């Protein structure tokens, strides 16, 4: 019996072992990394119009039982263009198998995403890099997702070291978050979810409308939350929010309505119960142990957000901050703050059912030689904001040392005296009606010095004084309207701050006045002037602005025909201007600007539109940019601009070794810049010398700038000196391999009449270049082309260019080349050897007519399979150079001169299509023979020619067939003469027909592009 039981036991153990081994083998086969990655890629191919890449994958069951653990390493999703959208260093998931088998619930007990990256970008046209990524089917949106959600529960979610980038080029918004950690611990099931959530961001940088709203700020949120699915209510409590050094607390409820809206009821506030906690927010490196002061008074800070968030509805936010009967005294300090009061409140109602406002009802700080009081308010904040303020201050900064125990290194000196009142409406500012600003009082700072080492802040002001006055009666006015006057002056202002910011001016003078109004409906007349001495602004390695002197005379007056419409007139003079932004540099010896801005009588899309007009006279202009790394300069230039565009006059620019004089106008510039309309231009361009090699090289270096560190270092070493960029100009080179397809913007319609006295292209010097250039809807067309060079006495013709994509272009041209030196033109235009291979064996002068069209590759080389061409060549007294073909023919026909022979005259017609060049029969006279030749030659250099002897010492007519290639593999055969009665070149009509067809095709391409 025992033996039977033992056998049964061993049998069962064997079965279990067998099943275990089989399961392990099956799992290792089914869940191999290659199988998992393959399945994931197959699934992504069905639902994504992009690429999924996974470096490694792993699945474990037995070592983690009862959990099934998945791990994916180096996951990346790209869009169809190959741009990275989402990636992660690792994704780890643990699913409880036991719960799924017993309760049919998908229990995710751990989900970890490590090092994720998410990028969302929108260009200026509104297209984003996620467009077209998902290929969802209607059947995918069924009840399956609901069933999965109902059976889903999770207890631990963790995201670490995330990076999120959002760039909306259309709206000008940008957000970049680094070091984002998200943790959610709790559970989720059929009835809802709950737990603790934590979100921490190591760095947040945000920009809106081109203005930096936040730069490298830390933020965090910690809260306890719960969500009920049946009532769709989300409650959160014990919430702590920290932004930078400021912390908030809050609690509330969110109710998700069936119609899609959300009912909000949130209370929030600073967690401050006394002045001590407020003082503790002062950094230790400014006031050590700031919270150790003996304080009095009450502190209260609270707010709430209540209401419905739905289509056309927004919650109302209100809050208040109060310090009442406050006092601050530090132990051992001779003075104290004896009186501290503040009352601040706000209300924001986007529904405009109540007037939104921000009010500082009172602020009072007195004690220890300090006396500050003030109040201010913005009312009707979301409609027509009206501002009012009153500030009085009498502060001796040195007396602050008697009140606060500042940290070593902090230096405060100087006097501040202020008594100002001001009031104005936003409508007056928007309409340019600055004369309606009410202001009065004085302010002054003397011998001011503020140094805070921890913030790298340093402020030095020798003197800064100002006066404002209004409410002055004027009996000459019908209504006795107020008059505003003011003047501000400063000496020796120097401000240093974090990130290398520095501002300096040695003198500053500002004056302002308004004239009395004859009519209350008229725009008040304002005149103002600003003068500065030496002025400089630095921002680390990013920005530098400098001027030796700056003078501005400006005024506002009503348009005579429309007294309610303001016009701004300004005259600006700048001396020795220097500007650097990253590696872009700009300089002027002097500039005089006459500017006029007139506000349109009507608004567009709720925005006030100002129309500019004016003139800019510049001397000593210099500019350099990595986008085109050649120094651009002009001794003197005049630019006239208005709403329609820009007019150039007296502008002689030097671009590297080239010079360029422009006269003409760029029109529709306003609509082109702000409404994406077509920019138009008609310009006359004249150049004494144009170095095309240098311009092509600059275009090549512009593409390398972002990836070439040595080029970046060379640019950075130039510093703020614009003149140092001369060393970066490119030397002359015969290298033209740097060419690449360039796109022509479709929203540009340009016409150039060009005249270039001298031009260098590769090793060739070109003279008297003339041509009319038209750029329209992405197509460049060259008409009336004419020039001469060493290799050609005269060239005339036309050409067409367009780029269909980054790798595909099109070119068509029709050229007449008179008295062309054959061997020189092959050196100057190597592409001609491809078009007419037989020309390499000739020496002398010929006339060539050429009509051709071809596709272009990414390096602007002709794509031979697409080449179509018709060619006619005529020449006299040509020399046929020594070659294997000629040597064999000369030996066979017993030429007197077997090394070199003269051709009295020749006229050849050729056509190229589908990779084959057809040479139509032509007649030539050489040595003692009159020959007729014709045949075909492929662009792979293989050929098949026939030569007939029309007149020769031989008594009968004979022919020679020549087959082979240019590598020396040739065969010769004596045959019958095919061209017995030929006395002149044949089928010129075919060449004319081919040329006409190409010409019509070029015109059709132009018309098609212009219609699109």
In this prediction, residues 711-729 reach a mean pLDDT of 50
Greatest mean pLDDT range, 32-36, 38-42, 355-359: 355-359
pLDDT, tens digit, for every residue of 488-525? Answer: 898 988 988 876 788 888 888 988 777 655 555 666 67
The predicted structure's pLDDT at residue 969: 78
Percent pLDDT > 90 in the chain is 5
- Cβ neighbours for 30, distance < 8 A, ≥ 6 positions apart: none
On the question of pLDDT at 733 being above 70, the answer is no
Please answer whether residues 427 and 478 qualify as being in contact, where contact means their C-beta atoms are separated by less than 8 angstroms.
Answer: no
What's the rounded Cα separation, in Å, for the pair 981 and 830? Answer: 36
In sequence order, the 6+-apart residues with CB closer than 8 A to the CB of 453 are 285, 409, 410
- Of the given ranges (550-564, 567-581, 678-692), which has the lowest mean pLDDT? 550-564
Distant-in-sequence, close-in-space partners of 916: CB < 8 Å, separation ≥ 6: 936, 937, 938, 939
Beta bridge partners of 245: none
Query: Cα–Cα distances in Å, from 992 out to 870, 912, 1004?
Result: 8, 13, 18
Average pLDDT of span 81-94: 85
Mean pLDDT of the chain: 77
pLDDT of residue 208: 66
pTM for the predicted model, two decimal places: 0.57
Segment 761-784 mean pLDDT: 85
pLDDT above 90 (res 364): yes
What is the mean predicted confidence (pLDDT) over 240-244? 76
What's the whole-number mean pLDDT along residues 910-922? 83
Is it the case that residue 836 has pLDDT exceeding 50?
yes
CA atoms of 88 and 74, how far apart (whole Å): 6
Euclidean distance between CA atoms 978 and 931, whole angstroms? 11
* pLDDT, tens digit, 9 for 90 and up, residues 923-958: 877 777 788 888 888 867 788 888 888 887 776 778
* pLDDT tops 50 at residue 442: yes
Query: Is the predicted pLDDT of residue 24 greater than 80, yes or no?
Result: no
Question: Residue 92's closest CA among 105, 106, 73?
Answer: 73
- Looking up tokens 């020399």 gives 879
pLDDT at residue 883 greater than cutoff 80: no
CB 898 within 8 A of CB 890: yes
Question: Minimum mean pLDDT among 527-531, 586-590, 823-827, 994-998: which range?
Answer: 994-998
pLDDT for the residue numbered 62: 53
The sign one gets for the Cα dihedral 471, 476, 477, 483 is negative
Of 597, 589, 522, nearest in space to 555 by CA = 597
3 state DSSP class of 441: strand
| Best-predicted range by mean pLDDT (32-41, 150-159, 285-294) | 285-294
Measured between alpha carbons, how far is 389 from 375 in angstroms, rounded to an integer?
A: 6
Helices (H), 344-385: none
Least confident of 114-128, 794-808, 995-1009: 995-1009
Looking at residue 143, what is its pLDDT? Answer: 45
- The per-residue pLDDT for range 179-199, each reduced to its tens digit, is 999 888 876 666 777 788 888
**E strand or H helix at 39:** helix 33-47
Name the band, by pLDDT with cuts 50, 70 and 90, for residue 758.
very high
Distances (CA, A) of 77 to 158, 180, 314, 890: 20, 20, 37, 68
For tokens 């240098």, the residue is 694
Confidence check: pLDDT of 901 > 80: no
Assess whether pLDDT exceeds 50 at residue 144: no
**pLDDT (0 to 100) of residue 711:** 61
Q: Which of 190-204, 586-600, 680-694, 739-753 has the lowest mean pLDDT?
A: 739-753
d(CA 776, CA 48): 37
Q: Which residues of 867-898 are buried (b: 16+ CB within 10 A; e: fewer)?
A: bbbbbbbebeebbbeeeebbeebbeebebeee
- Calculate mean pLDDT across residues 315-341: 90
In the chain, what are the domain boundaries?
257-408, 525-803, 809-815+822-1011
User: Which burial class, exposed, middle or buried, applies to 126 when counting CB atoms under 10 A from its CB (0-12, 13-18, 19+)?
Assistant: exposed
Q: Using pLDDT thresholds of 50, 70 and 90, give the confidence band for residue 477.
A: very low
Q: Tell me, what's the pLDDT at 987?
A: 47
Question: Which residue intervals of 77-182 are DSSP H helices?
Answer: 97-103, 144-150
| Per-residue confidence (pLDDT) for residue 152, from 0 to 100 | 46
For the chain, the residue count is 1012
Write down the pLDDT at residue 479: 44
Distance CA 882, CA 828 (A): 22
Residue 752 to residue 325: CA distance in whole angstroms: 76
pLDDT at 573: 92
pLDDT at 793: 84
pLDDT level of residue 13 (50, 70, 90 thresholds): very low
Q: How confident is the model at residue 848 (pLDDT cuts 50, 70, 90)?
A: confident
The band of 606, judged by pLDDT with boundaries at 50, 70 and 90, is low
pLDDT of residue 768: 92
Distances (CA, A) of 81 to 45, 49, 53, 77: 15, 10, 15, 11
pLDDT tens-digit readout, 611-622: 788 998 888 888
Gap between the Cα atoms of 599 and 562, Å rounded: 11
Of 438-452, 729-743, 903-917, 978-992, the one with minimum mean pLDDT is 729-743
Considering only CA atoms, give the Rg of the chain. Answer: 41
Helix (H) or strand (E) segment spanning residue 869: strand 862-880
Mean pLDDT calculated for residue range 542-559? 85
């Amino acid at each position: 019996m025992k033996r039977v039981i033992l056998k049964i036991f061993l049998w069962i153990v064997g079965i279990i072992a067998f099943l275990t081994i089989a399961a392990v083998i099956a799992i290792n086969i089914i869940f191999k990394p290659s199988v998992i990655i393959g399945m994931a890629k197959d699934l992504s191919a069905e639902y994504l119009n992009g690429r999924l890449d996974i470096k490694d994958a792993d699945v474990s069951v037995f070592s983690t039982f009862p959990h099934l653990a998945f791990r994916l390493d180096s996951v990346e999703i790209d869009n169809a263009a190959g741009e990275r959208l989402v990636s992660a260093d690792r994704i780890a998931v643990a699913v409880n198998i036991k719960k799924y088998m017993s309760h049919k619930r998908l229990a995710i007990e751990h989900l970890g995403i490590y090092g994720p990256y998410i990028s969302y970008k929108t260009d200026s046209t509104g297209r984003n890099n996620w467009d077209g990524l998902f290929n969802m089917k209607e059947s995918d949106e069924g009840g399956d997702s609901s069933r999965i959600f109902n059976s889903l529960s999770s207890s631990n979610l963790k995201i670490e070291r995330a990076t999120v980038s959002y760039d909306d080029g259309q709206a000008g918004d940008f957000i970049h978050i680094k070091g984002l950690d998200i943790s959610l611990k709790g559970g989720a099931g059929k009835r809802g979810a709950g737990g603790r959530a934590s979100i921490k961001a190591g760095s947040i940088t945000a920009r809106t409308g081109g203005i930096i709203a936040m730069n490298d700020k830390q933020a965090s949120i910690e809260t306890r939350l719960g969500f009920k699915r049946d009532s769709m209510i989300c409650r959160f409590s014990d919430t702590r929010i920290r932004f930078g050094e400021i912390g908030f607390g809050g609690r509330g409820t969110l109710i998700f309505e069936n119609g899609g809206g959300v009912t909000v009821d949130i209370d929030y506030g600073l967690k401050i119960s006394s002045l001590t906690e407020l003082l503790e927010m002062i950094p230790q490196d400014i006031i050590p142990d700031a919270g150790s002061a003996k304080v009095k008074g009450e502190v209260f800070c609270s707010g709430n957000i209540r209401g419905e968030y739905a289509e056309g509805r927004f919650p109302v936010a209100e809050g208040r901050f109060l310090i009442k009967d406050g006092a601050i005294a530090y132990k051992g300090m001779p003075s104290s703050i004896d009186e501290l009061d503040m009352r601040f409140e706000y209300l924001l109602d986007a529904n405009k059912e109540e007037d939104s406002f921000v009010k500082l009802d009172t602020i009072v700080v007195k004690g220890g030689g300090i006396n500050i009081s003030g109040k201010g308010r913005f009312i009707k904040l979301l409609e027509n904001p009206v501002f009012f303020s009153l500030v009085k201050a009498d502060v001796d900064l040195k007396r602050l040392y008697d009140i606060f125990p500042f940290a070593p290194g902090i230096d405060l000196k100087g006097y501040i005296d202020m008594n100002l009142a001001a009031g104005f409406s936003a409508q007056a500012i928007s309409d340019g009606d600055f004369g309606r600003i009410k202001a009065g009082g004085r302010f002054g700072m003397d011998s001011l010095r503020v140094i805070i080492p921890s913030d790298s802040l340093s402020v030095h002001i020798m003197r800064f004084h100002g006066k404002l006055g209004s409410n002055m009666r004027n009996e000459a006015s019908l209504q006795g309207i107020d008059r505003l006057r003011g003047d501000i002056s400063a000496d020796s202002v120097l401000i240093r701050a974090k990130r290398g910011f520095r501002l300096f001016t040695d003198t500053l003078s500002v004056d302002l006045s308004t004239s009395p109004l004859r009519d209350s409906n008229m725009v008040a007349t304002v005149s103002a002037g600003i003068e500065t001495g030496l002025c400089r602004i630095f921002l680390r390695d990013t920005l530098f602005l400098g001027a030796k002197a700056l003078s501005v005379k400006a005024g506002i007056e009503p348009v005579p025909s429309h007294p309610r419409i303001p016009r701004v007139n300004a005259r600006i003079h700048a001396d020795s201007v220097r500007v650097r932004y990253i590696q872009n540099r700009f300089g002027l010896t002097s500039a005089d600007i006459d500017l006029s801005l007139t506000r349109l009588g009507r608004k567009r899309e709720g925005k006030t539109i100002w129309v500019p007009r004016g003139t800019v006279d510049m001397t000593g202009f210099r500019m350099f940019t990595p986008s085109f790394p050649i120094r651009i300069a002009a001794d003197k230039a005049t630019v006239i601009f208005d709403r329609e565009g820009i007019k150039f006059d007296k502008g002689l620019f030097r671009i590297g070794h080239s010079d360029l004089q422009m006269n003409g106008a760029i029109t529709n510039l306003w609509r082109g810049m702000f409404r994406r309309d077509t920019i138009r231009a008609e310009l006359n361009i004249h150049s004494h010398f144009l170095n095309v090699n240098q311009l092509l090289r600059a275009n090549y270096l512009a593409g390398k700038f972002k990836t070439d560190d040595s080029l970046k270092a060379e640019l950075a070493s130039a510093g703020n000196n614009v003149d140092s960029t001369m060393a970066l100009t490119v030397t002359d080179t015969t290298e033209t391999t740097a060419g690449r397809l360039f796109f022509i913007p479709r929203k540009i319609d340009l016409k150039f009449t060009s005249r270039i006295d001298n031009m260098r292209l590769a090793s060739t010097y070109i003279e008297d270049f003339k041509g009319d250039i038209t750029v329209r809807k992405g197509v460049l067309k060259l008409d009336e082309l004419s020039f001469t060079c060493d290799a050609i006495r005269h060239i005339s013709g036309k050409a067409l260019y367009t780029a269909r994509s980054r790798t595909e272009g099109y070119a068509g041209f029709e050229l007449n080349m008179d008295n062309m030196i054959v061997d020189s033109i092959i050196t100057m235009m190597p592409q001609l050897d491809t078009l007419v291979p037989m020309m390499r064996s000739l020496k002398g002068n010929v006339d060539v007519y050429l009509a051709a069209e071809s596709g272009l590759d990414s390096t602007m080389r002709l794509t031979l399979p697409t080449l179509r061409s018709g060619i006619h060549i005529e020449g006299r007294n040509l020399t046929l150079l020594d070659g294997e073909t000629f040597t064999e023919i000369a030996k066979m026909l017993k030429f007197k001169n077997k090394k070199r022979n003269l051709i009295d005259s020749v006229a050849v017609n050729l056509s190229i299509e589908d990779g084959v060049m057809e040479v139509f029969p032509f007649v030539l006279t050489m040595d003692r023979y009159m020959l007729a030749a014709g045949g075909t030659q492929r662009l792979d250099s293989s050929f098949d020619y026939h030569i007939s002897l029309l007149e020769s010492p031989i008594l009968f007519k004979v022919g020679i067939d020549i087959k082979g290639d240019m590598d020396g593999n040739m065969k010769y055969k004596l045959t019958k003469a095919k061209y017995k009665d030929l006395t002149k070149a044949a089928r010129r009509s075919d060449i004319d027909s081919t040329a006409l067809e190409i010409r019509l095709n070029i015109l059709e391409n132009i018309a098609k592009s212009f219609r699109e």
